[in-house]
């Protein structure tokens, strides 16, 4: 599967392999870029994750490719505010994040009534009734 | 109509719960309380405690997590009570048809007496819905009949 | 010294219009830790954005949040327009500014009222909401609905503001300005209000930037950052300077929002004065292919939509990052150290919008 090419509105996308992801993020931290959020795309056998930063009203991004099943190193050691979005990645994409400071272990937004993480491409998500009724 | 029923008609206390709504209907419910619409002229007061309330105003399509909270609130309210589903998504799920975490309407969880349409429901409509609910409340007995089971949330 | 106590704040709480739970650990009266338990309003809109047609999504994203609904639609439309290579006509851009700023006025007045209610100033709450009804009437007059106005569409706007409506807006807004000025003055100069807000929940500028705070929360810490400076829609052609206050406390954040009400009134009037003639929307053919990111300034801060199209009528991905999402880390950092009685006021001071946050 391909990755995103030019994205209108993002000034620069820098590719960082998984091993040096945290170093790349640290470089932004040192330049005092404001962390915006991370965004994840399901690309078949891997995830494409973009970390977005603000530099004087311009958006710049760091991209990493994560094979499915691999663990993602947590960015909370660099930017604490990443804990919200990383918990969301755990919930909605089923990505295991390693070293997360505040970990809701997959129960941040959704309750555990889904068979598969809802934002994955193969997950059919119609209005499905909960597996068992709590009452 | 005995004295208690009469008094209840003149001071319906409201409990408002947001069950996953977009806030649109919630701010309209708050607008009802403020001077322009002034729902207090019907004696209605917004209370925070389910034990004090006669009317439950629910907004939103109800999601998997607050379903339990909604059921809990409903069970805590004392009989007689009425439930008003405010807004299109509380009535039928509305625009959130493809959303995986929505139950698709308040009536999937608790019995609803009045459905208020609109996205977002206008204050005039909400007040009308409340008045319709009160007409229903007036016909309910103030004490449950001997041996009758109290109304319970649908399971 | 007592043992630490743990208090759940929410999900159903009289101060909160929306269900969120804060698990607060107390040492006597002081907060030592606050953790949010979210998920009570999570609906799954990002997934629905992939399952719906990309044109239907305009109506869906308006329901992400009812308070800043049309601004969500604007951000989504800007992103899709960038993918499709469209540019909205001049008149549409100016009309967008008018509606977005009317929305901002209503949202900020709503906040000021709720804040007054949070510390028990009921009459001021009623007054702010009474004034707010003037804006709601303007929205209803121009768009046909009060809260969710559905004016933006891909390629432009769906409605026009004719000369008579423009005249009504010009007459109404100065009255609103006078009334709001009186209320804001009494809010910001009142002794009790100052006691409850000055020095409470202070976020220094460096910390706010580090934690990624946006919007009035960031500007209340003295950082002049406002996405409207980037000049989307017609903001690039209008006179405009971000409002900042230096102290970073609840009072500063409130003052920023109060001043922005007047700034928005000026922007609406300026946009109406410069309103060019022309079309309301441009037509388009084809389906989105490619990706785009749009950043706009919602009442609570910077709002981001990222749209990835794959050449079909369904989008590959719709990513929403809302302002409250960025402000929650800052809130969680300042709550420890507050007194328990201040928790509602400090929580409200970032103007949290939970239905945005959880989508």
Average pLDDT over residues C36-56: 83
Contacts of A4 in chain C (CB under 8 A): 291, 308
Q: What angle do CA C358, C98, A60 make, to 5 degrees?
A: 50
Q: How far is CA C254 from the centre of its chain?
A: 13
Please classify residue C341 by burial: count the beta carbons closer than 10 Å to its beta carbon, then call 0-12 exposed, 13-18 middle and 19+ buried: exposed
Contacts of A114 in chain B (CB under 8 A): 100
User: For residue A16, is pLDDT > 80?
Assistant: yes
> Across the interface, do A125 and C329 touch by the CB < 8 Å criterion?
no
Dist. CA A52–CA A64, nearest whole Å:
12
Closest of C186, C267, C193 to residue C226, by C-alpha: C267
DSSP code of residue A74: P
pLDDT higher at A127 or C22: C22
Q: B76 at the C interface (CB within 8 A)?
A: no
A39 closest CB neighbour out of C39, C302, C306: C306
Contact C59, C151 (CB under 8 A): no
Element (H, E) at C304: strand C301-310
pLDDT tens-digit series, residues C265-277: 999 999 998 888 8
Q: Rg of chain B's alpha carbons, rounded to an integer?
A: 15
> Across the interface, do B30 and C17 touch by the CB < 8 Å criterion?
yes
Q: What is the mean pLDDT of chain B?
A: 82
Contact B86, B39 (CB under 8 A): no
Closest of C108, C48, C218, A85 to residue B104, by C-alpha: C48
Contacts of B103 in chain A (CB under 8 A): 127
Dist. CA A103–CA B126, nearest whole Å:
41
User: Residue A55's pLDDT band (boundaries 50, 70, 90)?
Assistant: confident
pLDDT higher at C149 or A135: C149
Contact C346, C202 (CB under 8 A): no
Residue C314 pairs in a beta bridge with C53
Contacts of B97 in chain A (CB under 8 A): 127
- DSSP states of C67-130: SSHHHHHHHHHHHHHHHHT----HHHHHHHHHHHHHHHHHHHHHHHHHHHHHTT-HHHHHHHHH
Which range in A104-118, B36-50, C94-108 is most confidently predicted, on average pLDDT?
C94-108
Dist. CA C278–CA C91, nearest whole Å:
6
- Which of B17, B24, B48 to mutate against chain C (most C CBs within 10 Å)? B24
Which chain C residue has its CA at the smallest distance from A56's CA? C225
Element (H, E) at A91: helix A83-93
User: For residue C212, is pLDDT > 60?
Assistant: yes
Angle between helical axes of C122-143 and B24-33 (0-180°, round to 10): 120
CATH code for the domain in which residue C268 is found: 1.10.645.10
User: For residue C72, is pLDDT > 50?
Assistant: yes
DSSP code of residue A76: T
3-class DSSP assignment, residue A47 = strand
pLDDT higher at C13 or C217: C217
Tokens, residue B134? 């009160």
Q: Map out the domains of chain B with their CATH numbers.
A: 3-139 (3.40.50.12280)
Contacts of A6 in chain C (CB under 8 A): 290-291
Average pLDDT over residues C119-147: 88
Q: For residue C239, is it within any domain?
A: yes
User: Residue C108's pLDDT band (boundaries 50, 70, 90)?
Assistant: very high
B/C interface, count of CB pairs below 8 Å: 124
User: Phi and psi of C258, rounded to 5°?
Assistant: -60, -45
- Give the largest Cα separation in chain C, rounded: 71
| pLDDT given at position A129 | 44
pLDDT tens-digit series, residues B12-64: 888 888 888 888 888 888 888 888 888 888 888 888 788 888 889 898 888 88
Which chain B residue has its CA at the smallest distance from A117's CA? B100
Contacts of A128 in chain B (CB under 8 A): 100
Residues contacting residue C132 through CB under 8 Å, at least 6 positions apart: C105, C106, C109, C110, C113
User: Phi and psi of A87, rounded to 5°?
Assistant: -65, -35
Sorted by where each begins, the domain ranges of chain A are: 1-135
The pLDDT > 70 percentage for chain C reads: 98
Q: C292 at the A interface (CB within 8 A)?
A: yes
pLDDT higher at C263 or C353: C263
User: Residue A13's pLDDT band (boundaries 50, 70, 90)?
Assistant: confident
Structural domain total, chain C: 1
Q: B67 at the A interface (CB within 8 A)?
A: yes
Contacts of C47 in chain A (CB under 8 A): 118-119, 125
User: For residue C2, is pLDDT > 60?
Assistant: no
Write a three-state SS string for chain B. Answer: CCHHHHHHHHCCEEEEEECCCCCHHHHHHHHHHCCCCCHHHHCCEEECCHHHCCEEEEECCCECCHHHHHHHHHHHCCCCCEEEEECHHHHHCCCCCCCCCECCCHHHCCCCCEEECCCCCCHHHHHHHHHHHHHHHHHCCCCCCCCCCCCCCCC
Dist. CA B27–CA C17, nearest whole Å:
8
pLDDT tens-digit series, residues C217-230: 888 888 888 888 88
User: For residue C93, is pLDDT > 80?
Assistant: yes
| pLDDT given at position C116 | 86
From the CA of B64, how many Å to the nearest CA of chain A? 7
pLDDT tens-digit series, residues B96-140: 877 778 888 888 888 898 999 888 888 989 999 988 888 888 777
Q: For residue C17, is it within any domain?
A: no
DSSP code of residue C212: T
User: For residue C335, is pLDDT > 80?
Assistant: yes
Average pLDDT over residues A43-64: 86
User: For residue C125, is pLDDT > 70?
Assistant: yes
The span from the first CA to the last CA of chain B, in angstroms, equals 33
| pLDDT given at position A135 | 39
Other CB atoms within 10 Å distance of the CB of residue B51: 9
Tokens, residue C168? 């009504």
Helices and strands, counts by H and E, chain A: 2, 7
Which chain A residue has its CA at the smallest distance from C36's CA? A108
Q: For residue C123, is it within any domain?
A: yes
Residues contacting residue B41 through CB under 8 Å, at least 6 positions apart: none
Whether CATH 3.40.50.300 fits A1-135: no
Q: Where are the beta strands (DSSP E) in chain A?
A: 7-8, 12-15, 34-42, 46-55, 58-67, 71-73, 96-98
Dist. CA C159–CA C280, nearest whole Å:
7
Dist. CA B45–CA B14, nearest whole Å:
6
Contact C302, A59 (CB under 8 A): no
User: Residue C261's pLDDT band (boundaries 50, 70, 90)?
Assistant: very high
Least confident of B24-28, C85-89, C118-122, C183-187: C118-122
Dist. CA C223–CA C217, nearest whole Å:
9
Q: Which parts of chain C fold into alpha helices (H)?
A: 45-51, 57-62, 69-84, 90-118, 122-143, 163-189, 191-197, 205-210, 215-219, 250-273, 323-334, 343-349, 354-358
pLDDT tens-digit series, residues C187-203: 888 888 888 888 888 88
Chain A touching partners, 3 or more CB pairs below 8 A: B, C
User: For residue B150, is pLDDT > 70?
Assistant: no
| pLDDT given at position C203 | 87
Q: B36 at the C interface (CB within 8 A)?
A: yes
Average pLDDT over residues C333-345: 83
Instruction: Please give the residue range of the domain that contains residue C313.
Output: 41-358
| pLDDT given at position A132 | 43
Which chain A residue has its CA at the smallest distance from B64's CA? A111
Other CB atoms within 10 Å distance of the CB of residue C224: 11
Tokens, residue C57? 């999504």
Average pLDDT over residues B149-155: 53
Residues contacting residue A33 through CB under 8 Å, at least 6 positions apart: A53, A54, A55, A60
The pLDDT > 70 percentage for chain B reads: 90
Q: A108 at the B interface (CB within 8 A)?
A: no
Please classify residue A14 by burial: count the beta carbons closer than 10 Å to its beta carbon, then call 0-12 exposed, 13-18 middle and 19+ buried: middle
User: For residue A133, is pLDDT > 60?
Assistant: no
């Amino acid at each position: 599967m391909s990755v995103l090419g030019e994205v209108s509105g993002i000034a620069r996308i820098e590719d960082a392999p998984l091993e040096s992801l945290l170093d790349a993020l640290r470089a932004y931290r040192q330049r005092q870029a404001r962390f915006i959020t991370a965004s994840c795309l399901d690309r078949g056998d891997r995830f494409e994750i973009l970390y977005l930063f603000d530099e004087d009203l311009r958006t710049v991004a760091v991209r990493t490719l994560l094979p499915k099943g691999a663990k993602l190193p947590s960015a909370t050691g660099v930017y604490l505010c990443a804990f919200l979005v990383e918990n969301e990645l755990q919930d909605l994409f089923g990505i295991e994040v390693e070293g997360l400071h505040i970990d809701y272990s997959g129960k941040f937004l959704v309750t555990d009534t889904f068979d598969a993480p809802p934002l994955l491409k193969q997950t059919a998500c119609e209005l499905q009734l909960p597996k068992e009724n709590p009452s | 109509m005995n004295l208690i029923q009469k008094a209840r008609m003149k001071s319906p206390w409201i409990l408002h719960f947001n069950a996953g709504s977009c806030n649109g209907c919630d701010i309209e419910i708050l607008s009802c309380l403020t001077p322009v619409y002034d729902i207090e002229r019907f004696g209605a007061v917004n209370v925070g405690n389910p034990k004090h309330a006669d009317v439950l105003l629910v907004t939103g399509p109800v999601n998997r997590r607050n379903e339990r909270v909604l059921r809990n609130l409903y069970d805590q309210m004392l009989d007689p009570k009425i439930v008003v589903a405010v807004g299109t998504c509380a009535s039928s799920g509305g625009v959130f048809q493809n959303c995986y975490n929505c139950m698709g309407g308040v009536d999937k969880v608790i019995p609803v007496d009045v459905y208020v349409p609109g996205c977002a429901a206008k204050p005039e409509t909400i007040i009308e819905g409340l008045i319709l609910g009160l007409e229903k409340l007036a016909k309910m007995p103030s004490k449950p009949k001997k041996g009758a089971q109290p109304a319970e949330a649908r399971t | 010294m007592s043992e630490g106590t743990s208090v759940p704040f929410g999900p159903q709480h009289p101060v909160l219009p929306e269900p969120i739970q804060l698990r607060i650990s107390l040492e006597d009266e002081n907060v030592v830790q606050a953790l949010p338990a979210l998920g009570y309003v999570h609906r799954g809109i990002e997934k629905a954005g992939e399952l719906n047609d990309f044109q239907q999504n305009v109506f869906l994203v308006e329901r992400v949040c009812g308070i800043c609904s049309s601004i969500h639609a604007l951000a989504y439309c800007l992103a899709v327009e960038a993918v499709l290579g469209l540019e909205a006509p001049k008149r549409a851009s100016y009309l967008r500014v008018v509606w977005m700023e009317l929305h901002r006025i209503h949202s900020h007045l709503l906040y000021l009222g709720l804040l007054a209610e949070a510390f028990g100033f009921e009459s001021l709450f009623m007054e702010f909401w009474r004034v707010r009804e003037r804006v709601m009437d303007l929205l209803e007059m121009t768009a046909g609905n009060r809260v969710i106005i559905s004016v933006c569409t891909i390629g432009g706007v769906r409605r026009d503001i004719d000369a008579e409506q423009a005249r009504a807006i010009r007459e109404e807004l100065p009255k609103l300005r006078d009334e709001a000025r009186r209320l804001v003055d009494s809010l910001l100069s009142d002794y009790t209000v100052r006691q409850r807000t000055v020095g409470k929940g202070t976020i220094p500028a460096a910390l706010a930037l580090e934690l990624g705070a946006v919007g009035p929360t960031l500007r209340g810490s003295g950082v002049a950052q406002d996405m409207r400076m980037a000049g989307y829609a017609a903001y690039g052609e209008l006179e405009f300077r971000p409002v900042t206050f230096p102290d970073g406390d609840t009072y500063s954040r409130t003052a920023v929002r109060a001043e922005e009400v007047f700034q928005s009134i000026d922007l609406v009037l300026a946009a109406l004065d410069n309103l060019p003639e022309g079309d309301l929307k441009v037509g388009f053919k084809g389906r989105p292919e490619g990706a785009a990111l749009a950043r706009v300034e919602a009442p609570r801060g910077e709002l981001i939509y990222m749209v990835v199209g794959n050449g079909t009528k369904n989008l590959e991905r719709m990513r929403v990052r809302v302002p409250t999402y960025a402000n929650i880390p800052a809130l969680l950092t300042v709550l420890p150290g507050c007194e328990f009685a201040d928790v509602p006021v400090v929580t409200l001071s970032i103007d949290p919008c939970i239905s945005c946050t959880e989508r």
